[in-house]
Structures are given as structure tokens and as C-alpha cells.
Amino acid sequence: MTKFFRVLALFLATAAYGQSEIPKTPAGKVLAAWLTSFNSADPAQLRAFDETYRREAAPPLEDRLAFREGTGGFTLLRIEKSEPSSLVALLQEKSSDSVARLELTVSSEEPPKIVGSTISPAPRPADLATPRMTEAQALAALSARAAELSKNDRFSGALLVARNGKILLQQGWGRANREAGTAITPATQFRLGSMNKMFTAIATLQLVEAGKLALNDPIGKYLPDYPNKDVASKVTVRHLLTHTGGTGDIFGPEFTKNRTTLREHGDYLKLYGARGLTHEPGAEHRYSNYGFVLLGALIEKVSGMSYYDYVRSKVFQPAGMKSTDSRPETDKVANRAKGYMRSGSSWASNADTLPWRGTSAGGGYSTVGDLLRFAQALESGKLISKAMLAEATKPQSEDYGYGFDAQGEGPLRSYGHSGGAPGMNGDLRVFPQLGYVVVGLSNFDPPEASRMVEYFTLRMPASPPSSR
């Protein structure tokens, strides 16, 4: 399931038979009309739907068109519940395998008016699971999918699939620089967004294993001058690694205003360090980019090195990652792709949204090959012990470990991390039992690379090679 969906009180809730046809009820009438207008991507049809079936002001047209662009529209999988004035429908994105649940309630007048509606992510029912393929079939399907989307200007990026150390697919589609016409290759370096958090987590855990940090120590032990004493005394290293520290985000008006002057991790601490907690540490999981900036500051403090020098010498070099770094945007990096974000029906540069340089929270750059090398170094015990890796990649808070998310069970258990921001998206999935490593990187908006990774992982063989 991609993270693209948000709960949206947009369009269209409750009903009954598991049928795949739209019921001939008032609620079904509205659902059918909505699907037709939404899938058309035609502003005139959307406005006509609003005039007929809405009492209250419609959500902004540009938001709905952007949602339509991202999903490709929807097809009906089944009606889960149905009553005359309400229904629950299971839908699938046309652009991916993602599933959504639409809950719709309408009035009894004619024509019926929308009373309430939500659309939210939903797990795919077992009886509608995407059929597994042979390895060759899944690889061929992934290549064909990437080629089709690239031809339609819907995917630009590189993909890599390896199993037990053997690269099965490594290819690029689209352009690294649209203005210059530079083609994407496996050597293209893509911005990673939050995928950088994996490197930060490994650096932190190395220092834990070396006895220079302790998971349960408060950060004030290492940063005694930290401005907010509540944060310093209550938030531990473990809290930061698991996004349970209540340390908040870095993005928003203050970041936008100071984007080009935030150049070192210390600059972020000066800007945000006086803030209080968003919740009591350990009480809940709330994704915190600032928490990982604080990890960068801890790494610098106890190692005596800059964060960038530390990860370069202790993570990238031992793993053989020669094309991964976080150099400033002002530096010329020969193979670094330009990022493009959707602007209406075209693509625009993301340059004005980028930080000065990547941080311990995200924003560096890498290649699909280097991320494979990173995964191999992790699995071999070259970067941290295998026992520590097992702790880092199992759920510690919800489905998150120490800087890695954890998914699935049994042979399909995997770990990795995605990253995304305007004009960048990436995903790494490591399946230890199956031996697969799947990497996707893109210089388009999320979730284009993550969707490609998901496309393969839903179709690849689900049993170890020895049992096939």
C-alpha cells in the first residue's frame, strides 16, 4: 500500500453484499456519477457533478484534479455494504495496485445530495490478492510497466532487482535533465529524501555498539547545552530512532524562510532547539524529521567528526558506496539528476524547494547500485552486528524499528525505508528470507518510485529459492 492516499472528506459509506456492480440505489447513483466525472479528469464534468449532487461547496477543483492525476482514477473492485442512502465501496487506483475504501452517505431527495464521504487507504482483501508470478514473469512485467509509464511521462527513474547477490534487473527510464535531454542510467544519482535516515540510524547504532552512545540515555547527557531542558532530560536516543520523542518536524514556514541559511545541523538546533515537546516521549509514534537532525548532532558530538565525514568514512566507504553523499546543492555533481514536480499538466523544477544540503534527516543522493551495496553490507554484518540489525529492523514502535520500517511476515518479511518530497522519491526493500533486494529511485514526485517497487514485490515469488 502506498502512502499517497490521505483521508479526504472529498466526494463521497455503508452497505452489503460483496457485489462488483454498482447498486441501483440513490447512493449507487451518486457513486456512478462520481466515478464517471472523477475518472474523466474533465473540469466541466466535475463541476456538473458538484451542481447536481452537492449542497455544500466542493473541495478545490485543483486538489481533485491533482488527486486524479496521482491515482489515475479508480475502478470498482466491489461493494462491501449497501443500503438505499449509503454504501461502502472498495476501489483500486488505475495507476497502481493501491486500494481505497470509499464511504458515502446521501440524502433521500431527488437528485440525492452528498451528506458525508471519506476515502482512505484499505488493505487488499485476500481473495483479490495480486497473483504471484515466476521470477522471470515478474521482472518482465516490471520492465514493461516502467516502459509504459515512462512513455506516457508518468515515470522517470531507475530500478534494480537483485536476489542472493545476483543483479536481475538494473535499468533507467526517462531523463535526468529534461532541458538537456540527459538520459537516466543506473549511474544516475537521485535525491533520497528520508531514505537518508537509514544511514543516520546505522551511524548511531555503530556508536552504540562502540559504547559512545546508549539507547536509553537522554540526549542532554551528550548535548548539555541543549536549549530546551524538558527535551534534553526526557528524550532518549531510542526515542529519536523510533520517532517517539515528540520532537516535531523541521518543515514549515520557518524552514521556508531560512531554507538557504540552514547549512549545518547546528543551525537547525539554533532555530528549533527552544521548542517544547509535542507529546510525552514514548507515549506515541509521530514521525519526526527534527528527531533525526538531533541524531546527526549526537553523532557529531560523540564522534568528533562532522556528520557528513562520519557517514562517508564509516558507512559509505565500508559498503563500497562511491556515488552516495550529501554535497550542497551549489556543488556540481556530475550525475545528479534534476528533480521535477508536477505543475498542472507539466513538470517544473524543484530547485526552489531544496535545502542547502542533505541532513541526517534526509536529502542526500545515491544510485540504485549503491543502495544494493548498502543492503549487502547490512546483511553481511559489515556495518553493524547482525544482532543489532535484527533489533533495528523489527517493529519497535508501530511498524518502525531503529531508522527502518518493517513490513510483512514469514518469507515476505522485509525492511527498508522510502523517501519523498517534491521532485524526488525512492524506496529500498530488503527481503532477508527470500534474498531479494528491490530498489527504486525517481526524480518525479512521490509515489512514483515506491509504486514501482511495490509493483514488483506484489508479483515476485513468495517462497525461498530452495522450496520452489
Please provide the DSSP assignment of 330-361 as one string: TS--TTBPPPEEEETTEEEE-GGG--SS-BTT
Side-chain-facing half-sphere of 69: CA atoms under 13 Å: 20
Residues 136 and 98 in one domain: no
Short-list 317, 298, 171, 202, CA closest to 247: 298
DSSP state of 207: H
Determine phi and psi for 37, rounding to 5 degrees.
-70, -45
Residues 185 and 307 in one domain: yes
Mind giving me the DSSP string for 21-79? S--SSHHHHHHHHHHHHHHHT-HHHHHHHHHHH-SSPPPPHHHHHHHHHHH--EEEEEE
Round to whole Å and give the CA distance between 442 and 155. Answer: 7
C-alpha cell at 92: 483500486
Counting runs of H as helices and runs of E as strands, what totals does the chain give? 15, 16
Does some domain include residue 16? Answer: no
Radius of gyration of the chain (CA): 23
Round to whole Å and give the CA distance between 146 and 449. Answer: 10
Spell out the per-residue pLDDT of the chain, length 468, in tens.
Answer: 333 333 333 333 333 334 579 999 999 999 999 999 999 999 999 999 999 999 988 899 999 998 998 899 999 999 999 999 999 999 999 988 999 999 999 999 999 999 999 999 999 998 998 999 999 999 999 999 999 999 999 999 999 999 999 999 999 999 999 999 999 999 999 999 999 999 999 999 999 999 999 999 999 999 999 999 999 999 999 999 999 999 999 999 999 999 999 999 999 999 999 999 999 999 999 999 999 999 999 999 999 999 999 999 999 999 999 999 999 999 999 999 999 998 877 899 999 999 999 999 999 999 999 999 999 999 999 999 999 999 999 999 999 999 999 999 999 999 999 999 999 999 999 999 999 999 999 999 999 999 999 999 999 999 987 644
Give the helix/strand (H/E) hosting 196. helix 196-209
C-alpha cell at 22: 454498482
Instruction: Indicate which CATH number applies to the domain containing 64.
Output: 3.10.450
For 225-248, b/e burial (b = at least 16 CB within 10 A) is: ebebeebbebbbbbbbbbbbbbbb
Determine phi and psi for 397, rounding to 5 degrees.
-145, 110
155 contacts 316 by C-beta, under 8 angstroms? no
Short-list 222, 200, 352, 217, CA closest to 291: 200
Long-range contacts of 174-180 (CB under 8 A, 24+ apart): 174/150, 174/443, 174/444, 176/335, 176/337, 176/338, 176/443, 177/337, 177/338, 178/338, 178/340, 178/347, 179/338
DSSP state of 94: S
Instruction: Count other Cβ atoms within 10 Å, centred on residue 367.
Output: 25
Cite the beta strand spans of 174-293 per DSSP E: 175-177, 182-183, 190-191
Residues 261 and 210 in one domain: yes
Mind giving me the DSSP string for 417-447? EEEEETTEEEEEEEETTTTEEEEEEESSSTT
Residue appearing with cell numbers 526515542: 239
Give the helix/strand (H/E) hosting 88. strand 86-93
Instruction: Count other Cβ atoms within 10 Å, centred on residue 286.
Output: 16
pLDDT of residue 20: 77
Q: 3-class DSSP state for residue 216?
A: coil
Instruction: Count other Cβ atoms within 10 Å, centred on residue 369.
Output: 21
Provide the residue count of the chain: 468
Residues 54 and 154 in one domain: no
Number of domains in the chain: 2
302 alpha-carbon distance from chain centroid: 30
Residue appearing with cell numbers 530547485: 351
Does some domain include residue 49? Answer: yes
Residues 6+ apart with CB under 8 A from 374: 198, 199, 315, 319, 321, 324, 366, 428
pLDDT of residue 19: 57
Asked which of 91, 112, 128 is the last residue of a domain, the reply is 128
AA identity, residue 299: I
Round to whole Å and give the CA distance between 455 and 137. Answer: 12
Strand partners, 440: 159, 427
Instruction: Indicate which CATH number applies to the domain containing 448.
Output: 3.40.710.10
DSSP state of 3: S
Does some domain include residue 8? Answer: no
Residues 169 and 119 in one domain: no
Asked which of 79, 110, 128 is the last residue of a domain, the reply is 128
Query: Which residues span the domain enclosing 49?
Result: 26-128
Does some domain include residue 17? Answer: no
Residues 148 and 238 in one domain: yes
pLDDT of residue 1: 36
Residues 167 and 115 in one domain: no
275 contacts 228 by C-beta, under 8 angstroms? yes
pLDDT of residue 338: 97
Round to whole Å and give the CA distance between 439 and 369. Answer: 9
Does some domain include residue 3? Answer: no
Does some domain include residue 20? Answer: no
Residues 319 and 370 in one domain: yes
Asked which of 97, 128, 159 is the last residue of a domain, the reply is 128
C-alpha cell at 16: 452489503
Residues 6+ apart with CB under 8 A from 463: 411, 434
Does some domain include residue 251? Answer: yes
Residues 223 and 336 in one domain: yes
Residues 200 and 306 in one domain: yes
Residues 168 and 43 in one domain: no
Does some domain include residue 378? Answer: yes
Round to whole Å and give the CA distance between 43 and 66. Answer: 12
Round to whole Å and give the CA distance between 202 and 198. Answer: 6
Residues 85 and 183 in one domain: no
